[in-house]
């Protein structure tokens, strides 16, 4: 098992965990400070999942990224 397989398999669990924590913290958080951190966290999770899908699926629903030469 490589790292991307582990990330891809854990993606739904991590997303659910982060979402629950975010929802529980809504009444207490200062959106101007914490909101940025949560947003970046979701972007990081999404990008890791996209990389997993691109590297493990022959028929990825996502458009392929252009490789830098």
Query: Is position 26 within any domain?
Result: yes
Residue 56: how many other CB atoms lie within 10 Å: 12
How far apart CA 41 and CA 58 sit, in angstroms, is 27
Question: Which pLDDT does position 48 carry in this prediction?
Answer: 77
Question: Which pLDDT does position 65 carry in this prediction?
Answer: 64
| End-to-end CA gap in the chain | 29
Range of the domain at 19: 3-56
Query: Is position 51 within any domain?
Result: yes
How far apart CA 21 and CA 18 sit, in angstroms, is 5
Q: 22, 38 in Cβ contact below 8 A?
A: yes
Query: Is position 62 within any domain?
Result: no
Query: Is position 47 within any domain?
Result: yes
**Could you report the per-residue pLDDT of 7-33, keeping only the tens digit for each?**
667 777 877 887 787 777 777 765 555
Count of domains observed in the chain:
1
**Could you report the per-residue pLDDT of 29-69, keeping only the tens digit for each?**
655 555 656 666 777 777 777 777 777 655 555 566 666 66
Query: Is position 35 within any domain?
Result: yes
Query: Is position 14 within any domain?
Result: yes
What predicted TM-score, i.e. pTM, was given to this entire model? 0.37
Phi and psi torsions of 57, nearest 5°? -115, 130
Residue that has been written with the tokens 């098992």 in this structure: 1
């Amino acid at each position: 098992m490589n790292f991307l397989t582990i990330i891809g398999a854990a993606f739904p669990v991590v997303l659910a965990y982060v979402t629950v924590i975010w929802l529980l913290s809504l009444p207490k958080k200062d959106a101007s400070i914490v909101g940025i951190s949560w947003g970046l966290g979701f972007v990081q999770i999404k990008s890791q999942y996209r990389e997993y899908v691109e590297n493990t699926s022959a028929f990825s629903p996502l458009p392929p990224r252009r490789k830098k030469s």
